[in-house]
Chain A
């Protein structure tokens, strides 16, 4: 290799003239790689299985944007429950903060879809069609007129397209469900032109990403990658090179002491983002552990202890001891715990009905008749469920006897419908002792739903009624 090695000052995959040097990293099937592959396959299986699993009549995850209904593991949320997304997003943020403070970019190396699909699907196809990194680099240099390149790279391109097509379809199934997707696949493209174009664009975008764009996404686009310098400190566990043990690198000779690093460049060859991990923690590093496997492999062959490159904090690599308990981890974990509790409680409290109350517009505040004092309210009742339901409304008060007019029969509300209902609340004249607070209860016939709304009863000075 005549090429100069990676340097810290520049990104390896951005050329000095702005072109894109394309990496062909080597692979080491080490123990970390095996563990990562197991996690990746589990995640892919999970992603592909969710739309097929049915819970209470709907796919486990079905984000029905068209009808603004979001089915999540048996719970159905409507657009009115969108506020819950706040907790999902902040919860996700806290989770990322906390994990990064403890374990660095563990997300990037193990679970990010970009890594999972690139390393465990598409690079597998690279090796299958074009061989190892040496023959792939040779193929890069060959002209397209070479029939062997056309065959091998063309074959890989078709395989890429098939997989991208499949991933795009699974992704689409999350939004239109498998029964919704099936006719779109079997019918002619012109029967669903919009869906066909969307699918073609998605397949094309995935293909571009995995075929050409690859690590550029992590280096330049991913916002999480950009936050690393703020999220990681000296005690976060990262993938690092033990400089104290490794340096000076090279061969020992009489009078020339040498560390454990033999400068074999194996760690550079396997790096998917093209850095030299021995230059320290760098923003390109996605903590994929490829260099750990590579170095361990070499050290084992040399009968030296492994772990020259390993999971360790900067403090540990400097000879100290990692402190897991520090203000940052306490704060992030506490925020994560709060977020989790709030999110869980709010999701569990979501009821398949909505009940809102306001004073009826353009009416008198109260009306007094021979027998009673009345207030008119306007209730908005929503049935968010998939079945029609009969609802009853009743008034409850600790002090004054209060009743709702004409609501004994209740009302049936169609699925996903909302009605506006005038409610006349009555108090007998002889019971009326001045203004008071009371509660209106919306109850479903099956007793599963019970929602409360507080209200205030307005009336005249009771002395004016005593005649």
Chain B
């Protein structure tokens, strides 16, 4: 508002008209323009910092670094695993309970809720007969990397979904029902699990 009382305070009507609609020539509030220009300046600085100078680290770089660190930890954990460790884990109640929980959330769907196996899908796991290797490390490896049957992966490889720790826990759960040195190797055709719950 002008302080000059002589001046007509009424705003000027702009000469143009669209569909008979005219507009006044009025100023935007300065504070409003300030927010507009600051956001433009911010966008420019943001672009500079993120995409030109690289001052702000790219999210993908940070993500890849963290994934690599995670993989390194997993690999180190696998390296430290051996028969003795897995058997020891299988006698630890906490580890076995953790493994059972993992089993109940994933593995049960093929091997049955009671480990009895499902015909044509998953072997029985609560007996002492093992088709794909009769050692603790073999069981761990099968869960970790999966099994290829007739040229097709069976969807068991769990390293990515679970991570070493939980794969080891599931292994421990299965081993907890076994006796060390009493696991017997058999052929696929002799696997007796093709029963139902």
Contacts and interface: CB of A to CB of B under 8 A. Distances in A.
Interface of A: 2-4, 7, 9-10, 12, 14-21, 213, 216, 220, 360-364, 367-369, 374, 376, 378, 405-406, 419-424, 426
Given A17-B27, A406-B114, A422-B113, A367 B119 contact: yes
A4 B119 contact: no
Contacts of A362: 109-110, 121, 155
B196 A361 contact: no
A406 to B, nearest CB: 7
Interface in B103-158: 104-105, 108-110, 112-114, 118-121, 155
Nearest to B103: A422
B1 A16 contact: yes
A394 B155 CA distance: 31
Interface residues of B, number: 33
A183 B56 CA distance: 34
B197 interface: yes
B9 A368 contact: no
Interface stretch (B30-38, B76-84, B169-177): B30-38
A20 B10 CA distance: 17
Contact of A10 (B9, B105, B197): B9
A465 B163 CA distance: 43
Given A10-B9, A16-B27, A18-B27, A363 B1 contact: no
Contacts of B3: 2-3
Mostly helix, strand, loop or mixed at chain B's interface? loop
Contacts of A420: 104-105
A374 B196 contact: yes
Contacts of B29: 14, 18, 20, 216, 220
Given A361-B109, A422-B104, A14 B118 contact: no
9 contacts: A9-B24, A10-B26, A15-B1, A220-B29, A364-B120, A364-B121, A405-B197, A422-B109, A422-B113
B101 to A, nearest CB: 8
Contacts of A20: 29-31
B15 interface: no
B119 A7 contact: no
Contact of A376 (B10, B32, B113): B113
A216 B41 CA distance: 24
Contacts of A7: 9-10
A426 B114 CA distance: 14
Residue among B1, B11, B24 with most chain A CB within 10 A: B1
Nearest to B107: A422
Contacts of B27: 14-18
B5 interface: yes
Nearest to A4: B9
Given A3-B5, A21-B1, A363 B109 contact: yes
B196 A369 contact: yes
Contacts of B195: 369
